[in-house]
Amino acid sequence: MTATDFFSLMPLIIIATAAVIVMILIAVKRNHSVVAGVSLAAFALAFLSLFRITAVTPHTLPPLLIIDNYALFYMGLIFAASFAVTLLSYNYLKSYNFNLEEYYILLLLAALGASTLAISQHFVSIFLGLEILSVSLYALIAYVRTWERNLEAGLKYLILAAQSSAFLLFGMALVYASLGSMNINDMAQLLSGANLGPLALIGFALMIVGIGFKLAVVPFHLWTPDVYHGAPAPVTAFIATVSKGGVFALLLRFFVAIDIYNYESLVIAFSVIAIASMIFGNVLALLQNNVKRILAYSSIAHLGYLLVAFLSGNNLSVDAATLYLTAYAITIMGAFSIVSLLSGKEQESDKLEDYRGLFWRRPVLSAVFTAMMFSLAGIPLTAGFIGKYFILSAGVHSAKWLLVIVLVLTSVIGLFYYLRIVVAMYSAPTDDMPSQPGISRSVSFSGVLVLAGLTILLVWFGVFPQGFISLIQNMVSSLQDVYLSMIV
């Protein structure tokens, strides 16, 4: 290990140290504000340290890790999202009177796991990162254990995630057995267009099951609505952004490196998954009456859109996927912030009726929520539109017509249920509806900060996308250049 090695791992070291410091703080004296403050500082510091590291990228720590601009971008996304989640959680947890401080340790560790995924180039570090992420999530999902739904969600996630890890691990073992390497770069060179043997094919299929579970794509999506519904709203936001972002970063790095586009069977498998996700996610969301469940099904559909970008396999695909993921992260974080800010102590305001007539009581919040819904639906002037535009152009560029047509058609279906929430908010309130305690509560300063930041980002991204696009192109195109040059 040289000084540069340590320097390039700075963000991870900061987060890991912060987790230990929080543990010491709890041992000394429990104080919710102090612990939340330390976690916020850690995320901010880790985020800022990324800018310094650009000086030494790309830097490899053989054999496990690689720190390139692509990884830095995804780590930035992870840390920024975790920062927002921490602010929301502080506000959300304040009203509970059990041990709150451990929540932040788990949050820090989960972010650490997700960023490990972003910098992994070896099966060992991939699995390590994935396990740190999911073990922290098991506890985070079931954190408010006084609710029945919460425990149910935690248990479901525990059982299914453990099973999917087993699939992933067995897949890795088979790939290793047939290729003789666990390093992504070595694998890329060993394969380099050669035919996959039956062992490797089964191995990749099992790995797709494991990764598909974490990304919640059809047919591995069954946990999503229950976990989204049962988990505390900030944790749901965390799953939707950090957990999926980290795993998607890994998916892109791994399958772009081995040049999946040469393997018809894998491309077909992913295409089927993408089409099924878009159709099932959007159609099932129509049947829901709970905002968190609607967002859960919509997240399945959005991951399907992301896979379209990934499958298009041209020089636009990594850019488009990253752009879309960024836009989606901003939007879904905003949507779940509002759900969590409106939630009372006893239960969350997540039923569609809770939002009926919201505009007449909380005009600003509903305006922001409307903007988030428009972005999810992909209406112009929001971040979601730019993201969807790039995905479509990537798909059209590669003439993936079936995928593109399904994307367009299901987006129209999606519009219906997003607008259903919006219509509910703007319809006139009735007198006899049950009043939610959370609805009338004033929003705390941290909540305002998160919402304002996300709304500004959303609109800015939507109106002046050029800056974001060139940033993303600068950062992530390194991935494709490196691997494409290696393959050719």
Partner 1 sequence: MSNEIQLWPFAVYTLSVFLIVAIMVILSHFLGQRHKEKETGEAYESGIMTTGTARLRISPQFYVIAMFFLIFDLEAVFIITWAIAFKEVGWVGYLGILVFIGILLVVLLYEWRIGALDYAVSGKKIVKKFKQLNKEVI
Least Å from the CB of residue 25 to partner 1: 10
Residue closer to partner 1, measured from CB, 154 or 234? 154
Q: Which is nearer to partner 1, 27 or 488 (CB)?
A: 27
CB of 30 to partner 1, least distance (A): 9
Report the residue number, 131 or 353, with the smaller CB distance to partner 1.
131
Kindly give, in sequence order, each residue whose CB lies less than 8 Å from that of residue 151, ignoring residues fewer than 6 positions away. Answer: 142, 145, 230
Closer CB to partner 1, 64 or 472, in the complex: 64
Query: What does the block give as tokens for 274?
Result: 């993408």
- Site of tokens 């428009």: 374
- Hey, how many other C-beta atoms are within 10 angstroms of the C-beta on 219? 13
Residue number, 35 or 247, with CB nearest to partner 1 = 35
Rounded-to-integer distance, Cα 74 and Cα 179, Å: 28
Least distance between partner 1 and beta carbon 26 (Å): 6
CB of residue 18 to partner 1, shortest distance in Å: 12
Q: Nearer Cβ to partner 1, position 113 or 313?
A: 113
> Which residues have a Cβ under 8 Å from the Cβ of 24 and sit 6 or more positions away?
none
Q: Which residue has the tokens 């919201």?
A: 358
Smallest separation (angstroms) from partner 1 to the CB of 24 = 6
Place of tokens 């705390």: 444
* Footprint of partner 1 (CB under 8 A): 1, 20, 23-24, 26-28, 99
Tracing tokens 């970063």 back to the chain, one arrives at 249
For residue 290, what is the DSSP state?
A: B
Residue 99 vs 440, nearer CB to partner 1: 99
Contact 259, 253 (CB under 8 A): no
Query: What is the smallest separation between the CB atom of 198 and partner 1, expressed in angstroms?
Result: 16
- The crossing angle, in degrees rounded to 10, of helices 148-179 and 184-191 is 50
Kindly state the smallest distance separating residue 16's Cβ from partner 1, in Å.
9
Q: How far is the CB of 22 from partner 1 (least distance, A)?
A: 10
CB closer to partner 1, 25 vs 475: 25
Let me know: does 299 contact 228? Beta carbons within 8 Å: yes
Which residues does residue 290 pair with via DSSP β-bridges, in sequence order? 351
Query: 126, 137, 199: which is closest to 162 by C-alpha?
Result: 137
- How far apart CA 95 and CA 77 sit, in angstroms, is 29
34-38 own/partner pairs: CB under 8 Å, 24+ apart: 35/100, 35/101, 35/104, 36/86, 36/89, 36/90, 36/104, 38/104
Distance CA 291, CA 376 (A): 13
Residue with smaller CB distance to partner 1, 101 or 348: 101
Kindly state the smallest distance separating residue 21's Cβ from partner 1, in Å.
9
Q: Which residues pair with 277 in a beta bridge?
A: none
